């Protein structure tokens, strides 16, 4: 399920940042349709505490973390970063890695749970 950026999020993101996220999301959905579980925005942008040079921290959770998939995600992020003059910082995990973070209630998982904004969620896979 693809969600449009929420109105509160669009208030804290610059136009080029919102556009970069939308293009990145749509490209991932098109290319990794059966691999993609979740995309989350987190960090200072999600909290509304960003400074002018803050990056866009995105967690991407996929079914399989094959090197080719990781490479393609990073390539798409780099393309969007360049095209929209933003820095997209991707954190890529496979489903089992994310479930391990959730099971351990890791610091990273707690940050996503507390501040994260779900950009894409699949019905069969949730924050846990």
**CA neighbours within 13 Å on the CB side: how many for 80?**
26
What local confidence, expressed as pLDDT, does residue 123 receive?
A: 60
For the stretch 68-107, pLDDT in tens is 999 999 999 999 999 999 999 999 999 999 999 999 999 9
Specify the fold of 7-121: Beta Polymerase; domain 2 (3.30.460)
User: Residue 3 CA to chain centroid, in angstroms?
Assistant: 12
- Angle at 127 (CA atoms; ends 107, 65), nearest 5 degrees: 85
Structural domain boundaries of the chain? 7-121
What local confidence, expressed as pLDDT, does residue 1 receive?
A: 38
* Cα–Cα distance measured from residue 71 to residue 94, given in angstroms and rounded to the nearest whole number: 14
- Assign 2 a pLDDT band (cuts: 50, 70, 90): very low
Residue that has been written with the tokens 């996929």 in this structure:
62
Name, of 29-33, 49-53, 66-70, the range with top average pLDDT: 66-70
For the stretch 78-89, pLDDT in tens is 999 999 999 999
């Amino acid at each position: 399920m693809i969600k449009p950026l929420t109105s509160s999020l669009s208030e804290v993101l610059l136009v080029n940042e919102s556009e970069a996220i939308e293009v990145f999301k749509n490209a991932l959905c098109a290319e990794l349709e059966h691999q993609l579980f979740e995309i989350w925005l987190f960090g200072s942008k999600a909290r509304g505490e960003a400074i002018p040079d803050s990056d866009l921290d995105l967690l991407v959770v996929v079914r399989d973390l094959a090197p080719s998939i990781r490479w393609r995600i990073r390539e798409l992020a780099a393309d969007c970063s360049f095209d929209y003059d933003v820095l997209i910082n991707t954190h890529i995990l496979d489903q089992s890695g994310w479930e391990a973070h959730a099971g351990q209630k890791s610091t990273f998982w707690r940050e996503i749970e507390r501040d994260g904004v779900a950009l894409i969620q699949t019905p069969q896979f949730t924050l846990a």
